[in-house]
Amino acid sequence: MDDRYEAVGKFASAICQNILANLNERTENFRLGDGFETTTNSVFSALIARQSALALGMAESPLTWSGHIAPVILRSMVDLLITFRWIAINPRDRSIEYVNYGLGSEKLLTSHYQKQIEDGTDDDRIRKIAEANFAWIESQQFHIFVEVKLGSWAGTSIRKMCEETGDKDLYNFAYVPFSAAVHNMWNHVGKWNARTCDNPMHKQHSVGVIADAWPIVDFMFRACKYLELTLEAFDKFYEFRSDITPPTQEFNEHIEQLGASWNSVQSSSDEGAERV
Ligand SMILES: [Zn+2]
């Protein structure tokens, strides 16, 4: 089994390096736009870093390539891709909306902490968190001008955002199915955490299990794909051309090697078993 882990590790390591190379090329010494669109530039630069961090997190942790964990991460990646594309349609206004909503949300959280302190919770940790949050908000905007908004930040639904960006399939075939994992819906849980009881007298009730299927490399491919689509949206916006191998190509270049290593370890262990 150790050799198989090693093969996966080698594969994952190549993907990690590619993810970082793609990100660094777009964040180090990258001249963003005309220099007057600070919020847009900040948001887009930070969002590709976030998307890279999620893909990197999966690549660094091949044990997450299972139906239990990967879809939760992938849903977040799809969400980010939709957000990025949607902001790019009206970058000036929407990037400001995006930031302001986040600041408002942090202000609300800070006020909850402050209320706890006022109510007599004398916990130094809470005080420190509240102060740090407050300082983070104030470093960007005067606290009193930060508006707390409820509901979705974009003021519209994810489905409508996908329609507006011209990619309904992303909503239907990626966002919705991965959401079933995030929200622990039966169409996820019933597949991955339930098996039919063996006893024929038990009216076919389900028994909770943790389905054992690993590694599902397609999940890592999806992560590469959502990262790549985000990088493409970034490059399109800034009219940037990269010479670095795109993540899915990197994946494809190494996946056969992984398959060959995996199968050779598998067949040699089968032979060993036969000899015994
Ligand atoms: Zn039973």
CA 197–ligand 1 middle distance (angstroms): 5
Q: Which residue has the higher pLDDT, 269 or 74?
A: 74
* Residue 274 confidence (pLDDT) above 60: no
Kindly report whether the global pTM for this prediction surpasses the value 0.75.
Answer: yes
Residue 57, Cβ neighbours under 10 Å: how many?
14
**Which of 28-32, 180-184, 262-266 is most confident?**
180-184
CA 198–ligand 1 middle distance (angstroms): 6
Helix (H) or strand (E) holding 181: helix 176-182
pLDDT band for position 45 (50/70/90)? very high
What's the pLDDT tens digit per position in 157-202?
Answer: 999 999 999 999 999 999 999 999 999 999 999 999 999 999 999 9
CA 196–ligand 1 middle distance (angstroms): 8
First-to-last CA distance in the chain?
17
Distance CA 78, CA 237 (A): 19
CA 206–ligand 1 middle distance (angstroms): 7
Distance CA 102, CA 276 (A): 62
CA 205–ligand 1 middle distance (angstroms): 6
CA 181–ligand 1 middle distance (angstroms): 25
What's the pLDDT tens digit per position in 208-237?
Answer: 999 999 999 999 999 999 999 999 999 999
* pLDDT for res 271: 66
pLDDT band for position 276 (50/70/90)? very low
* Torsional class of 151: left (φ above 0), alpha (ψ -120 to 50), beta (otherwise): left
CA 232–ligand 1 middle distance (angstroms): 51
Distance CA 109, CA 102 (A): 11
